């Protein structure tokens, strides 16, 4: 996902061409679907953010997607922090906990992982291991693992292949979003924010595109007509819901918004008819849903973390 100023990648005309084709191929035959009631009408819990950067520290600013898990009676937050005043700006992994998901305590005044660039990350718990999918340097998707959420081991850059088994073309492939079901790992990733591709793997060693055409593309609505990314997938009954992230702002700083897309098979997606969850002008992005036992909370994360119910 590319919110960057000096770190921003420019969209490629090649991927825009793919997007035009995919718009017809993917959106056309799918009827619009409405969301489950549990994912409607989110409102901000309080006027102030529940978590912000710490001025003058390594995490003076918070960047893009972080991740929150409710673990028994505790909420756990992993986030990307950085300090633009450092001579070498590097994205690092921070960690905080909360009893209520509102008041947070940093685990340490230092990052919990700084061996390599960590940005725009998400976590899938599976069989006693936490699998972290994140962007590394140059928007290269990578995998890390941990058993306790504090000590992380980098596995390496994801090996993503075209449908014919050849490596995908060189270049950025970021905002990795993983989903596990029925013995299969599903990976959704963006390339220069110009589309979302879907790859699968049985062992997370090699990921193969189901199609070399993106499954979701920008537009045609204005709120996501320029760039998109996928932040999360949840399943409600028989419907898969993707938390999406998009902008139609041609100039910087861009206004990004959070919205939903739905699917019955993880391959054909259509945007929810409700449109953005919050007004585009509010610039609430990098949204993730957290079940809390009574329903879903929505945390938006880029720049500051805000809670909505």
- Across the range 115-143, mean pLDDT stands at 98
Is the confidence at residue 14, as pLDDT, over 80?
Answer: no
Instruction: Give the pLDDT score at 3.
Output: 53
Instruction: Give the pLDDT score at 2.
Output: 56
- Across the range 63-71, mean pLDDT stands at 97
Domains of the chain: residue spans and CATH: 13-308 (2.115.10.20)
Band (229; pLDDT cuts 50, 70, 90): very high
Band (7; pLDDT cuts 50, 70, 90): very low
φ/ψ bin of 207: left (φ > 0), alpha (ψ from -120 to 50), beta (otherwise): beta
103 in Cβ contact with 50 (< 8 Å): yes
Q: Taking Cα atoms as reference points, which of 185, 253, 273, 197 lies closest to residue 228?
A: 197
- pLDDT tens sequence across 264-286: 999 999 999 989 999 999 999 99
- pLDDT tens sequence across 73-109: 999 999 999 999 999 999 999 999 999 999 999 999 9
**Rounded distance between C-alpha atoms, residue 298 and residue 286, angstroms:** 10
- pLDDT tens sequence across 285-300: 999 999 998 899 999 9
């Amino acid at each position: 996902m590319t919110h960057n100023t000096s770190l921003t990648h420019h969209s490629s005309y090649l991927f825009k061409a793919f997007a035009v084709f995919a718009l017809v191929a993917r959106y056309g035959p799918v009827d619009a679907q409405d969301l489950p009631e549990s994912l409607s009408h989110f409102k901000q819990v309080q006027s102030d953010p529940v978590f912000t950067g710490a001025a003058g520290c390594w995490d003076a600013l918070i960047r893009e997607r972080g991740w929150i898990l409710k673990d028994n009676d505790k909420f756990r937050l992993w986030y990307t922090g950085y300090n633009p005043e450092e001579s070498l700006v590097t994205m690092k992994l921070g960690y905080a906990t909360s009893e209520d998901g509102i008041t947070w305590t940093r685990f340490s005044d230092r990052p919990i992982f700084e061996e390599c660039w960590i940005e725009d990350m998400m976590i899938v718990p599976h069989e006693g291991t936490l699998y972290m999918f994140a962007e590394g340097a140059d928007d290269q998707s990578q995998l890390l693992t941990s058993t306790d959420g504090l000590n992380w081991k980098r596995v390496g850059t994801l090996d993503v292949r075209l449908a014919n088994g050849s490596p995908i073309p060189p270049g950025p492939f970021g905002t990795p979003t993983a989903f596990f079901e029925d013995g299969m790992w599903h990976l959704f990733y963006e390339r220069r924010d110009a589309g979302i591709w879907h790859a699968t793997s049985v062992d997370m060693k090699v990921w193969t595109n189901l199609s070399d055409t993106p499954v979701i593309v920008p537009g045609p609505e204005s709120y996501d007509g320029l760039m998109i990314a996928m932040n999360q997938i949840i399943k409600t009954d028989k419907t898969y819901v993707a938390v999406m992230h998009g902008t139609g702002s041609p100039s910087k700083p861009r206004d990004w918004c959070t919205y939903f897309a739905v699917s019955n098979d993880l391959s054909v997606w259509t945007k929810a008819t409700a449109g953005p969850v919050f007004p585009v002008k509010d610039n609430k992005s990098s949204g993730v849903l957290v079940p809390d036992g009574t329903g879903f909370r929505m945390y938006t994360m880029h720049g500051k973390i805000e809670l909505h119910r």
